[in-house]
Structure 1
Amino acid sequence: MMTFKLRFANIALMALYSLGAVAQSSENYSWTNLPKARQPVFKQDTVRITAYGATPDGHTLNTEAIHKAIDAVNKKGGGVVLVPAGLWMTGPIVMKSNINLHLSENATLLFTPDKTQYALTEGFYEGKSAARNQSPISGIDLENVAITGKGIVDGNGDVWRAVHKSQLTESHWKEKVASGGVLKDDGKTWYPSQQFKDASTGNKSMLLTAGKKPADFADMKDFLRPNLVVFNNCKKVLLEGVTFQNSAAWCIHPLMCEDLTIRNVRVKNPEYAHNGDGMDIESCKNFLIEGCTLDVGDDAICIKSGKDEEGRKRGMPTENGLIRNNIVYNGHGGFVVGSEMSGGARNIFVQNCTFMGTDKGLRFKSVRGRGGVVEKIYAKDIYMKDIAQEAVFFDLFYFVKFATDGARDMREVVNEGTPVFRDMHFENIVCNGATKGVFIRGLAEMPVRNIVMENMVLKAEKGIELTDGDQIRFKNVKLITEHTKPVIFIENGTQIRFDEISYNDKSDVLISVNGERSADIKMDNTDFSKAQKTKELSNGAQDKSLTLK
């Protein structure tokens, strides 16, 4: 199923570049077969939840009836648990192996707002062990499991999450305040309960440190928002056709799973949903995400692998995946890696995706202390419109505030906490509307390295900004920018290649090179006469650092 002809680098060949010592070139690219995600197979036996007393009145709690149906089918060797059309109120559902939970068209699983129904449990928060409320749908150590159909899974997330006044319209804010809950002392944030407010304003930790157990967090239970769907350490997982919406935190979270398929699902969260990610694929192996539509409050399709030392000790990269034919309407990023990527990520192919109105398009983020190696990421045929910030974004200073401009330039010792982003190829990228076309910011001690970007048309306010990048190649790139002073900005870049660059007529400055560490920057096959000034050098950059042919 996952055999595709993609003009990307042969994975075996790419292993030669794992140390970043040799720059990639288009000559190294060939057609290749990708790993296959094995599909779950189920018996034809079907049991309706109504056979165990479920009632679709939107009020009756159907948790027990649904679990009885799941248990009965599981004991018979597996099959389909059918949720017919209707509005089915329920508490948390725990899946079992060999179960296909099938939601008919017009069937909605609406999870109860009664938080007492959700047990405190050991889970994960942004890559670290943490106390959480039980997820509405969960499964641990399963094989052959699916959620399919044309129905809706609704997490009733508004009863769980806080919201800032600035995120809502005036009328919506008034409705929220009138619904109950409490306000922050400054009146600008609504909390669902006093317990939530106390935990939030008191910066209480939910992490399960040594000697802590979930029950110890009872005094902040309301604050421990659950992810909507969590499959942990499962094999052959399928999500297909269903709408997943209104999650309290992350929406779909497969963790340490193998052979994962997410196909033709819709994921919807409000724009104001804090941590309202669409899909967080964490430490998973062999996966396919195709034909999905996302409109969410945080990152849309996100690759993760644990955070900091805990993620490095787990040592499970997210690897061998294809993400294709997806549409993202809103989110902090269309396709995202990080920032919790301490276990690494590799061999991921992103093809034929459209991002419309996201904050960023292709987004890569990390920070000192994370560690992890992100490599062999390939993106092809990516189409973007009205991107609020950067179309292509690398930043190894995620959430870092600089006291001085020089702080960013300070080199630290490379160790296991140093994140590495290298060996990637992006091809056929079109963006109509962004603040910046390309933004790359590596570390002084560990530049973003060995990135090829070719056949791109980027319409943005600014063109390319690159700091601490090494072996970066741009080929056949058209930059349509509002600001042209300069079109391209390089700071402490090395081995940078520009080939066939197109830009606006009468641009002020084509390229500005800054920093004494800048070296071996070359631009070829480009019409320099269109710029009023071809180059600028500043802050220690030497004339020999830049060659124009």
Structure 2
Amino acid sequence: EDVKDFLRPNMLVLDRCKKILLEGVTFQNSPAWCLHPLMSEDITIRNLYVKNPWYAQNGDGLDLESCKNVVIENSVFDVGDDGICIKSGRDEEGRKRGMPTENVIVKNCTVYHAHGGFVIGSEMSGGARNIYVNDCTFIGTDIGLRFKTTRGRGGIVENIYINNITMKDIPGEAILFDMYYAAQDPILLAGEQRAPPRVEALPVGEGTPQFRDIQINNVVCNGAGKAIFVRGLPEMNVKNIVLKDMVIQAQEGLDMTEGSNITLQNVKLITENKGPVLNIHNSQNINLRGVSYAPSVPVYLNVSGEKSAGIKIEGLDKKSATGPIQYTFGATEKAVQSTSN
């Protein structure tokens, strides 16, 4: 069979365009990405239905790349890869272009099957900023809110504000920040095993990505594999994150590695497994304010790693956990300050 010398095309590409309106249209069965506005501005996307088969490789719904001044509203996505995705170029090429995706409003959208409901990355080398996501619903999406990047990308993702999100039946994480993205499907296949990434601190350079200054409020999730996952780099933590006013029912609670200046406030995690509700590893300045959990869990919080420090707990109900806090892998009681009920 002849080897093709081209890639599967995107369905609709809007390259360096201005004053765009996409309204009331159905887009489906794209060879790769379905909608790809690129280096464009003043875009309105309204009342769209975007449909790809669940198995479509790279079958993203909307990939907004290096665009500014955008409104996405009242649209439905049911696709094979990420649903609503923010991008800004890949690696050195994206950094050289230097065009962030910025000034974006996403509201009243629904995502069914997708690898992520609302996604930033992983190709975000030009940065992403000033993005507002409100009143969206994710049903059966592999991951709800998905922030992904890896070394070599570079770029700064900042000033992201997300409010009023409803999720149901999320197989993976309701909320995910991952700086070790490896271009793999977010959900393991039956019998599949993946080795964890090698952890080592590398020098900070132009290829070091950053996630910072992100606030997520008012999230309700009925069913997820894991509530919250945060995995930063040793040389560049995920930092300055606020997660507030949430109720998440999931098999597992929080896993955090290499996070800094992260606050969970008025967050209820209803977990099914018997492990710790919160796992915090090599993270600093973590504020847990009114973080509640299902009664009679064995362990509320596991703190690990010699670098863990400045973990503050307000309003811990020790009556609900048989062993509220445990320390492993070099962590000590000095890492935690607690006020209990």
Query: Given the two structures, how large is their TM-score scaled by the length of structure 2?
Result: 0.95
Give the corresponding residue for 1:131.
none
Q: Secondary structure at the match of 2:291?
A: strand
Aligned-pair identity in percent equals 55
Q: How far apart are 1:262 and its partner, in Å?
A: 0.4
Give the corresponding residue for 1:508.
298
Q: How far apart are 1:274 and its partner, in Å?
A: 0.5
Name the aligned partner's letter for residue 279 of structure 2: F
Give the corresponding residue for 1:321.
104
Q: How far apart are 1:526 and its partner, in Å?
A: 2.6
Among 319, 332, 341, the alignment partner of 1:529 is 319
1:258-407 → structure 2 map (5 Å cutoff): 258-399=41-182, 407=198
Contact 1:228 1:250 in 2 (8 A): yes
Give the corresponding residue for 1:237.
20
- In structure 2, C-alpha distance between the alignment counterparts of 1:315 and 1:269, rounded to whole Å: 31
User: 1:437-491: CA deviations, max 9, x gaps?
Assistant: 0000000000000000000000000011100000000000011100142000000
- In structure 2, C-alpha distance between the alignment counterparts of 1:526 and 1:241, rounded to whole Å: 50
Q: Secondary structure at the match of 2:290?
A: strand
Change (3 A) 1:489 1:400: farther
- In structure 2, C-alpha distance between the alignment counterparts of 1:338 and 1:332, rounded to whole Å: 12
Q: Secondary structure at the match of 2:171?
A: coil
Name the aligned partner's letter for residue 407 of structure 1: R
Contact 1:441 1:467 in 2 (8 A): yes
Contact 1:260 1:286 in 2 (8 A): yes
- In structure 1, C-alpha distance between the alignment counterparts of 2:260 and 2:96, rounded to whole Å: 29
- In structure 1, C-alpha distance between the alignment counterparts of 2:109 and 2:140, rounded to whole Å: 14
Change (3 A) 1:358 1:527: same
Contact 2:266 2:290 in 1 (8 A): yes
User: 1:221-246: CA deviations, max 9, x gaps?
Assistant: 4x521100000001001100000000
- In structure 2, C-alpha distance between the alignment counterparts of 1:321 and 1:350, rounded to whole Å: 8
Contact 2:10 2:31 in 1 (8 A): yes
Among 210, 229, 238, the alignment partner of 1:420 is 210
Contact 1:286 1:319 in 2 (8 A): yes
Confirm whether residue 247 of structure 1 aligns to residue 37 of structure 2. Answer: no
- In structure 2, C-alpha distance between the alignment counterparts of 1:495 and 1:296, rounded to whole Å: 38
Aligned residue-pair number: 331
Confirm whether residue 488 of structure 1 aligns to residue 271 of structure 2. Answer: no
Change (3 A) 1:404 1:350: closer
Name the aligned partner's letter for residue 61 of structure 2: G
- In structure 2, C-alpha distance between the alignment counterparts of 1:324 and 1:378, rounded to whole Å: 12
- In structure 1, C-alpha distance between the alignment counterparts of 2:335 and 2:99, rounded to whole Å: 40
Q: How far apart are 1:343 and its partner, in Å?
A: 0.1
Give the corresponding residue for 2:189.
none
Q: How far apart are 1:434 and its partner, in Å?
A: 0.6
Contact 1:391 1:436 in 2 (8 A): yes
- In structure 2, C-alpha distance between the alignment counterparts of 1:380 and 1:405, rounded to whole Å: 32
Give the corresponding residue for 1:464.
254
Q: How far apart are 1:403 and its partner, in Å?
A: 9.9
- In structure 1, C-alpha distance between the alignment counterparts of 2:175 and 2:220, rounded to whole Å: 11
Contact 2:180 2:197 in 1 (8 A): no
Q: Secondary structure at the match of 1:309?
A: helix
- In structure 2, C-alpha distance between the alignment counterparts of 1:245 and 1:404, rounded to whole Å: 36
- In structure 2, C-alpha distance between the alignment counterparts of 1:405 and 1:304, rounded to whole Å: 26
Give the corresponding residue for 2:309.
519
- In structure 2, C-alpha distance between the alignment counterparts of 1:404 and 1:304, rounded to whole Å: 27
Give the corresponding residue for 1:142.
none
Structure 1: runs of 5+ lacking an equivalent: 1-193, 199-219
Contact 2:34 2:62 in 1 (8 A): yes
User: 1:303-331: CA deviations, max 9, x gaps?
Assistant: 00000000000000000010000000110
Q: How far apart are 1:547 and its partner, in Å?
A: 1.4
Contact 2:44 2:72 in 1 (8 A): yes
Change (3 A) 1:235 1:492: same
- In structure 2, C-alpha distance between the alignment counterparts of 1:274 and 1:238, rounded to whole Å: 27
Instruction: Tell me which structure has the larger Cα radius of gyration.
Output: 1
Query: Given the two structures, how large is their TM-score scaled by the length of structure 1?
Result: 0.59
Confirm whether residue 445 of structure 1 aligns to residue 235 of structure 2. Answer: yes
Name the aligned partner's letter for residue 238 of structure 2: V
Give the corresponding residue for 1:434.
224
- In structure 2, C-alpha distance between the alignment counterparts of 1:344 and 1:509, rounded to whole Å: 39
- In structure 2, C-alpha distance between the alignment counterparts of 1:467 and 1:306, rounded to whole Å: 27
Q: Secondary structure at the match of 1:436?
A: strand
- In structure 2, C-alpha distance between the alignment counterparts of 1:448 and 1:256, rounded to whole Å: 27
Higher helix share: 1
- In structure 1, C-alpha distance between the alignment counterparts of 2:274 and 2:107, rounded to whole Å: 34
- In structure 2, C-alpha distance between the alignment counterparts of 1:240 and 1:263, rounded to whole Å: 5
Q: How far apart are 1:407 and its partner, in Å?
A: 2.3
Contact 1:429 1:456 in 2 (8 A): yes
Name the aligned partner's letter for residue 473 of structure 1: T
